[in-house]
Structure 1
Amino acid sequence: MDPQSAWITTPLTAGLLRGALEVERTEHGILPHRLPAAARAQCADAQLASAESQPSGVRLAFRTRATAVELDTLPTKRQYVGAPPRPDGVYDLVVDGRLTAQATVTGGHTLIVDLTDGTTEHRPGRPGTLRFTDLPEGAKDIEIWLPHNETTELVALRTDAPVEPAPDAGRRVWLHHGSSISHGSDAASPTAVWPALAASLGGVELINLGLGGSAVLDPFTARVLRDTPADLISVKIGINLVNADLMRLRAFTPAVHGFLDTIREGHPTTPLLVVSPILCPMHEDTPGPSAPDLGGLGGGRLRFVPMGDPAEVAGGKLTLRVIRDELARIVAQRAAEDPALHYLDGRELYGEDDVEELPLPDQLHPDAATHRRMGERFAALAFAEGGAFG
């Protein structure tokens, strides 16, 4: 940017955001939320509060002739006691639908997490600035995808030409709910999270309600899905119910029915795809809960181990195999009167044939390469002609 040029500061508003369901005004700027306040008020769980405020799938979207963009943000970064520092969250710049640059913001708040006793400590920090320069001349549509794994307050947006909200491209809106795997886990960047990649390949607008640790059939989440305008809906159910050891089969079946009933109250004929868990060898036949194995934490390696006993399945404990069988049965039963309801076995996204080539690094979450494979496969299965969203 020419140093003689004057920056134009554009007020940050909900109108410049996509993928967020609510925006909170803070002392610094705005904080995107993926669950509205009414839903957040019904659950005091710190894990959920952290997950929904991490802006997976949320992006600034605007049209401009600017060739330089600056964005001030105040991230909250997690740091685990005894582990090396985590890498800074990545911001993806997408220009006219093409990923063209990436950047990070240093500093910000730090949340110190001690996995041995579950305590946390919040250390305040200062905003930082990311810059994108040498953008192409002429009018263009710009998206800045926010880090999927860092709570991010937006402080200021500056450009060297005026900004207006991006026009509606007329694409269908896909509303997706799932666990940390849908949230992003170990994806390389926000546009590489598997639902984001699938949305790009499918030519749809994504609202990602992947909530790390919190895909547990909460009624308030079902009501959010019910009340959010969407052309396509998917719910990925299973892994969090097992690794939290949250319910037994007796409660699971009516909870799934209730969850789907609530969604159908607001979307009676919208294509609705139920996705069962991807393969996770440690919980295929062994119930939860899962627990962190902290032995390798100092070397930056966190692994999870199952704490349940396969013998407990007879008493109603859930495993991934039990959940898949029951979800397939429920969907088949309901689809007799609901032709827009569909089922996808998660092992078609990541299954037995993938484990040796792309093992789950911590035994629970897929890595960056697996996110790409899952996104490509979901697009091929769901968005193709004859697929649930075709």
Structure 2
Amino acid sequence: MHTEHDWITTPVTADLLRGALDLERTEHGLLPHRLPARARAQNTSPQLAMAEAQPSGVRLAFRTAATAVELDTLRTKRDYSGFPPRPDGLYDLLVDGAPAGQAAGTDGNVLTVDLATWEGEVTPGPVGTVRFTGLPARDKDVEIWLPHNETTELVALRTNAPVAPAPDRGRRVWLHHGSSISHGSDAASPTAIWPAIAALRGGAALVNLGFGGSAMLDPFTARAMRDTPADLISVKTGINLVNQDAMHLRTFGPAVHGFLDTVRDGHPDTPLLLVSPIHCAIHEDTPGPTAPDRDEMSKGRMVFAAMGDPAQTAAGKLTLTVIREELARIVEQRAADDPNLHYLDGLDLYGPKDAAAHPLPDNIHPDAATHRHIGDRFHELAFAGGGPFATA
């Protein structure tokens, strides 16, 4: 019988990781990326660079009889100047698919972001350790889901029994792209972001390309999806284009077509679900851009406001109402040639009635309870019954 002191160090390698599209060797260890190097080289946005390196949906997955596990990581925690420190990122432990523990990150770097300029300054820190003990003393599948909102360099994995890569359990791979809501903003933990909730309920293996502030119909993201093996695909888009006033109606439609065309180049027959934005009162009929509410910021509260003029919608400015109509039209137009393309109205995930019961605390992002609501709703509409991701 192994004791907790009989530590075995296992190198962290690609075969022990799920949900990352690329791995970068750093001076400390291994940094998971959710976009490949070619896509990162074409990106000029610091926000996307930060978001894709935060391992939302990325997890270690291995088979072991160990009763104790230690993971050394170098995290980069994000804080905002003028606001209280954000909660520490969490690591979720699953044993044979069931929740079995949780630990907070320790030590590490701190990135302090100035909301006025979105520039950041890093304060370096040491490697930290998360530890799980009391695991059942039998062979089991173990998953450690990394913090969805903290860049995490994997330094060392120690166990008190040998480790092997988790076997393929035949779960369908679900490749999802979306915004900060899909990334997991304000969710309780990495398995409590709405895509993880839906994936775990639906028995799917999640690859989450939800990028905070960065669901912008970028061609390099479409190519990454084209080249990633997947059994199920979804694209949730719209809110970030309004947030940044990035497109007008004239450019939006062709960009959606181009994104879908590229994904289809690699996945011609895969079930593909196009999802429109959830209800967001400030932008239903008011264009972007979106900006922090200065009055609320002066009170230490982060709340967003719409800065556009509703009258500009007639000139082609995008609102969420306009985007939903256009996405539905595009899916209907393409349906004759693409019977595996489907549309899901985001209002069916979280609509006005849901907003009345569970308002978005900062006017943009759902809270922890609403992530669970959206995840359960997505499971019901996509994975269950006659949904496009339902098993035959």
On whether the aligned pair clears a TM of 0.5, the verdict is yes
Asked if 1:100 is matched to 2:139, the reply is no
Asked if 1:109 is matched to 2:109, the reply is yes
Structure 1 residue 296 displacement after superposition:
3.8
| Kept in 2: contact 1:93–1:145 (CA 8 A) | yes
1:124/1:294 CA distance change after superposition, 3 Å = farther
Asked if 1:186 is matched to 2:186, the reply is yes
Structure 1 residue 4 displacement after superposition:
7.5
Structure 1 residue 107 displacement after superposition:
1.6
1:152/1:299 CA distance change after superposition, 3 Å = farther
Instruction: Report the Cα distance in structure 1 between the residues aligned to 2:4 and 2:134, rounded to whole angstroms.
Output: 16
| Kept in 1: contact 2:187–2:371 (CA 8 A) | yes
Equivalence for 2:375: 375
Asked if 1:337 is matched to 2:337, the reply is yes
Asked if 1:47 is matched to 2:53, the reply is no
Equivalence for 1:262: 262
| Kept in 1: contact 2:57–2:145 (CA 8 A) | yes
Give the alignment's Cα RMSD to 1 decimal: 1.2
TM-score, normalised to structure 2, is: 0.98
Structure 2, unmatched stretches of 5+, are none
Equivalence for 2:388: 388
* 4+ residue runs over 3 A deviation: 1-5, 294-300
Equivalence for 2:168: 168
Structure 1 residue 119 displacement after superposition:
2.3
Instruction: Report the Cα distance in structure 1 between the residues aligned to 2:295 and 2:189, rounded to whole angstroms.
Output: 27
Equivalence for 2:227: 227
Structure 1, unmatched stretches of 5+, are none
Asked if 1:33 is matched to 2:33, the reply is yes
Instruction: Report the Cα distance in structure 2 between the residues aligned to 1:251 and 1:321, rounded to whole angstroms.
Output: 16
1:2/1:269 CA distance change after superposition, 3 Å = closer
Equivalence for 2:356: 356
Percent of pairs with identical residues: 71
Structure 1 residue 5 displacement after superposition:
3.2
Tell me which amino acid in the other structure corresponds to 1:210: G
Secondary structure class of the residue paired with 2:42: coil
Structure 1 residue 251 displacement after superposition:
0.3
Secondary structure class of the residue paired with 2:301: coil
**Residues 311-330 of structure 1 correspond to what in structure 2 (within 5 A)?**
311-330=311-330
| Kept in 1: contact 2:186–2:367 (CA 8 A) | yes
Equivalence for 1:6: 6
Equivalenced residues, count: 390
Instruction: Report the Cα distance in structure 2 between the residues aligned to 1:169 and 1:252, rounded to whole angstroms.
Output: 39
What are the superposed Cα offsets for residues 256-315 of structure 1, whole Å, 9 maximum, x if unpaired?
A: 000000011000000000000000000000000000124444765200000000001011
Instruction: Report the Cα distance in structure 2 between the residues aligned to 1:355 and 1:82, rounded to whole angstroms.
Output: 29
Equivalence for 2:17: 17
Equivalence for 1:279: 279
Equivalence for 1:59: 59
| Kept in 2: contact 1:84–1:299 (CA 8 A) | no
TM-score, normalised to structure 1, is: 0.98
What are the superposed Cα offsets for residues 12-53 of structure 1, whole Å, 9 maximum, x if unpaired?
A: 111100000011001010000000000000012100000000
| Kept in 1: contact 2:109–2:123 (CA 8 A) | yes
Instruction: Report the Cα distance in structure 1 between the residues aligned to 2:156 and 2:54, rounded to whole angstroms.
Output: 18
Instruction: Report the Cα distance in structure 1 between the residues aligned to 2:153 and 2:190, rounded to whole angstroms.
Output: 16
Instruction: Report the Cα distance in structure 2 between the residues aligned to 1:147 and 1:327, rounded to whole angstroms.
Output: 32
Q: Which moved more, 1:2-11 or 1:339-348?
A: 2-11
